[in-house]
Amino acid sequence: MRPVVVAANWKMNTTPGDAGELARTIAARTVVEGPVERVICPPFVCLAAVGDALRGTGVAVGAQDVHHELSGAYTGAISAPMLAGLASWVIVGHSERRRDARETDELIGRKLHRAAEAGLRPIVCVGEQLAEREAGRADRVVRDQVAGILAAFAADPTALATSRLVVAYEPVWAIGTGRNARGSDASAMAETIRDAIAAAGWPALAPAVPVLYGGSVTAANIGEFLAEPAIDGALVGGASLKPDEMAGIVARAGLTASARVGTGG
């Protein structure tokens, strides 16, 4: 049975002075009966403060990115070994990194491999642009992204199999645009993602990979996505800075997790 995961991506928000209190508040507001894995991914400078605030709460800490090399002349970059003791999860290949830093599938694959080597649980992001969806190419684009990223493990397949991989489907056209994806859109893409993982050489791993929805998630729309058996949680952006929103999202996730435990699926 795949876990239900709710991961908060705070992006470039909060400071070390206020991040701990926000994390502590969210942790207290998101205690639910169902087995939901909760993760908060603050900016790098807030990792220590958030980690201290979350100690003993059951909420994990994640980083928002990781470099593709272990060390070297990369001013401003953060490597996987540097995150030891500060984070146990990491987001890789977010659409904003693709857009702003021009990250390619090949580079994202190398980052994913570094995360896996370091024992960081990765949330790797894939998703299509509006023009690609309107051209009927969404399925092909996402399949190609998955294949391009996982090519980094061709010589080291065990690293991926043991990485506890999570994938977030980000329909880029639905992030902060006012346009909404449907639950059926996300469900179809989750199946595409698992098919692509299998086709890339990991057929046994594919069914067990949790797929999260990551397109402007709110407490008001999360129910539509979690009603889909193929969707296993959410990567939450702007709403993750609001305790009330996170409480609603995790509460719905808890109901989903409890129902899945009850049915064994």
Residue 140 domain flag = yes
Nearest by Cα to 32 from 247, 237, 204:
247
Q: pLDDT tens for residues 242-254?
A: 999 999 999 999 9
Q: State in Å, rounded, how far the first CA of the chain is from the last one.
A: 6
CA-based nearest residue to 170, from 138, 206, 203, 195: 138
Residue 91 lies in a domain: yes
Closest Cα partner for 246 from 209, 217, 203? 217
Task: Give the count of domains, the chain.
Answer: 1
Residue 265 forms part of a structural domain: no
Residue type, 30: T
pTM: 0.96
Question: What band does 45 get if pLDDT is binned at 50, 70 and 90?
Answer: very high
Identify whether 76 is part of a domain.
Answer: no
In a domain, 202, yes or no: yes
The CATH number for 37's domain is 3.20.20.70
Return the DSSP state at 120.
P
Tell me, yes or no, whether 243 lies in a domain. Answer: yes
**Single-letter code of the amino acid located at 232:** D
Catalytic option among 94, 96, 103, 228: 94
Choose, from 37, 132, 170, 228, the residue flagged as catalytic: 170
Active site residue 134: no
Residue 20 above 90 pLDDT? yes
| Domain-located, residue 212 | yes
Residues spanned by the domain of 32: 4-71+83-260
Are 185 and 171 in contact by the 8 Å Cβ rule? The answer is yes
Q: Is residue 77 part of a domain?
A: no
Residue 265 banded pLDDT, cuts 50, 70, 90: low
Q: What is the pLDDT of residues 147-164, one digit of tens each?
A: 999 999 999 999 999 999
170 catalytic residue (yes or no)? yes
